A and B are shown apart, each in its own frame.
Chain A
Amino acid sequence: MIELRNVDKWFDDFHVLKNCSTNIAQGEVVVVCGPSGSGKSTLIKCVNGLEPFQKGEITVDGVSVGGKSTKLPKLRSRIGMVFQNFELYPHMTVTDNICLAQEKVLGRGRQESEEKAMTLLTRVGLSDQAAKHPGQLSGGQQQRVAIARALALDPIAMLFDEPTSALDPEMINEVLEVMVELAEEGMTMMVVTHEMGFARKVANRVVFMDYGEIVEDAETEEFFGSPRSDRAQQFLSKILHHI
């Protein structure tokens, strides 16, 4: 479903992604982890073309992301994305946040969009917050709205960039629960996170990055049981001991 082949990216002369390759099959959940600055966010943003890359190829559902004739808005509307800082539109109500792209990108009518929004809000447990503005919600609630906003476009895959890193500890689970449910329903997911409990529970594979390289790309069991590289071992012992 998502294929990365020998992707290289530079920020000016800083080589941020080095020959990155991986495949995410339909229905698979892949967790991406690694030290700060290793290029995880950059990698995931390349997948929906939010960041351009200079070498290699990325295809999503057979469509080349860097392709000249590729209509990026169309492709992006098929891939949901959730950000560390939620990035809800502050001037719109929760409902309008979820309806905007449905109406403007997919061309759905207002009523259909609102019904969809309501269904999704109910699903993430926020049907009573529909008329509020994002600033009136807690971080955990905002992130659940952000997930609903992405799901409203009926995506074929979901990208998450540290969706719980900005949350107070007591709100992390309410977001993870929604994500676990999604994974169990068979959503294709690429998740940058340091929540190793989540990785253990639902990830099929774990990709470990360091200095812009994919150092390890292994089945979840294998990654936690016997990571091949020293760097992954060190990283794991650091964050696991932290918990």
Chain B
Amino acid sequence: MEYNWDWGVLFREPYFGWIIDGIGWTVTVSIAAWIIAFTIGSVVGVARTVPVRWVRSAATVYVELFRNIPLLVQLFLWYFVLPEVLPREWGLWMKREMPLPEVTTAIIGLGFYTASRVAEQVRSGIEAIPRGQSMAGYATGLTTVQLYRHILVPVAYRLIVPPLTSEFLTIFKNSSLALTIGVLETTARSRQITEFTFQGFEAFTAATVIYIVITLTVTAFMTVVDERAKIPGFITGGR
């Protein structure tokens, strides 16, 4: 089989513009979803550890629900099913008036799903803190809220920077699933270029390189965060 290599295709219009657009949506969807995931994940993760039973149960339901349904299914549910089951006006609004419906849905779907994973990391971080720390906090008269605010949460986040990094990386890779509901992000654009030019090798090599560059950038950024978060003289796990 003859294959005509043509790397130049990547730099010709409109394909070059498509790739840049694709990168833009990959980054936008991922970062926006991460903000949602981090916020909701933090609240839910903390809620899973608090000494109030119904709060814990509610948080557990959230985690089990969003963690156990495949992300792809969740995206379809948000995009195709939710507008049908909501009250009529809301459903119509989602379909007709919601700005950038595909992108918005992808951000929410990916954000809520990743939140369940962030929540598990936050919970495990808090649970890794020896019980004596809470005892010490309470013994000085701190309330539960103060204990979380000043001790448990700050220590837990320092402990979980490495697993959070990998969740953050995963969100960029998972953002490619947004193509299934029509978001024209990096992978979707590569597919499109392939269909228009039959230069699939070039198009998907480009996508691969783009994901690697994004991943390495995020890793470098998180290494700096990890350095900053390090507790002087503190050995994780032991004591």
| Contacts A91-B154, A91-B155; A132 near B141 (Cβ below 8 A) | no
User: In the complex, how many residue pairs between chain A and chain B have their CB atoms under 8 Å apart?
Assistant: 86
Find out whether the CB atom of B136 lies under 8 angstroms from the CB atom of A87: yes
Tell which of B135, B137, B234 touches A133, judged by Cβ atoms closer than 8 Å: B234
Whether B138 lies near A133 (C-beta < 8 A) is no
In the bound complex, residues from chain B placing their C-beta under 8 Å from that of A150 are 139-140
Which residues of chain B have a CB within 8 Å of any CB of chain A? 130, 132-133, 135-143, 146, 150-151, 154-155, 158, 231-235, 239
B136 to A81, Cβ gap below 8 A? yes
**Chain B: interface secondary structure?**
helix
Contact B150 A104, beta carbon cutoff 8 Å = yes
**Nearest Cβ on chain A to B112's Cβ, whole angstroms:** 30
Looking at the complex, which of A71-79, A186-194, A201-209, A218-226 is the stretch in contact with chain B?
A71-79
A8-63 residues at the B interface, CB under 8 angstroms: 45, 48, 50
**Nearest CB in chain A: distance from B9 CB, A:** 52
Contact pattern, A 137-171, Cβ under 8 Å of B = 1, otherwise 0: 10000000010011001000000000000000000
Instruction: Report if A211 contacts B (CB, 8 A).
Output: no
Name the residue of chain B whose CB is nearest to the CB of A104: B146
CB of B130 within 8 A of CB of A85, answer yes
Closest chain B CB from A41 CB (angstroms): 10
Question: Bound state CA distance, A134 and B151, in angstroms?
Answer: 14
- Which of A73, A78, A90, A132 lies in contact with B155, CB distance below 8 A? A90
Contact of B150 among A80, A100, A146 (CB under 8 A): A100
Residues of B within 8 A of A72 (CB): 138
Q: How large is the interface on A (under 10, 10 to 19, 20 to 34, 35 or more residues)?
A: 20 to 34
Q: Inside 8 A of B136's CB, which chain A residues have their CB?
A: 81, 83, 87-89, 146
Q: Report if A153-B151 is in contact (Cβ < 8 Å); known contacts: A91-B158, A135-B234, A136-B233.
A: no
* Cα distance A85–B233 in the bound complex, in angstroms: 16
The chain A residue sitting closest to B239, CB to CB, is A85
Q: Which A-B residue pairs are the 7 nearest by beta carbons?
A: A135-B233, A77-B141, A87-B136, A101-B140, A136-B233, A105-B141, A81-B139
Q: Could you say which residues of chain B place their CB within 8 Å of the CB of A88?
A: 136
CB of A104 within 8 A of CB of B235, answer no
Contacts A135-B232, A135-B235; is A104 near B135 (CB within 8 Å)?
Answer: no
Known A77-B141, A81-B136, A150-B140; contact A90-B150, beta-carbon cutoff 8 A = no
CB-CB contacts below 8 Å: A96-117 with B: 100-101, 104-106
Nearest chain B residue, comparing its CB with the CB of A153? B140
Q: B195 → chain A, closest Cβ, in Å?
A: 53
**A90:B231 contact, CB within 8 angstroms:** yes
Which A residues are in CB contact (< 8 Å) with B138?
Answer: 50, 72-73, 76
Q: Find A73's partner among B143, B150, B233, B239 (CB 8 Å cutoff).
A: B143
B158 near A101: Cβ-Cβ < 8 Å: no
Known: A83-B136, A106-B141. 15 other contacts (CB 8 A): A73-B143, A76-B140, A76-B141, A83-B135, A89-B136, A89-B151, A91-B158, A101-B142, A104-B150, A105-B141, A133-B233, A134-B234, A135-B235, A150-B140, A153-B140
Enumerate chain B residues within 8 angstroms of A101, measured Cβ to Cβ. 140-142
* A74:B132 contact, CB within 8 angstroms: no
Residue on B with the closest CB to A136? B233
Nearest-neighbour CB distance to chain B for A186, whole angstroms, equals 22
Q: What residues on B are CB-neighbors of A48 within 8 Å?
A: 139
**Docked CA distance A136–B235 (Å):** 11
Shortest CB-to-CB span from B130 to chain A, Å, is 7
Bound: A105/B140 CA distance, A: 8
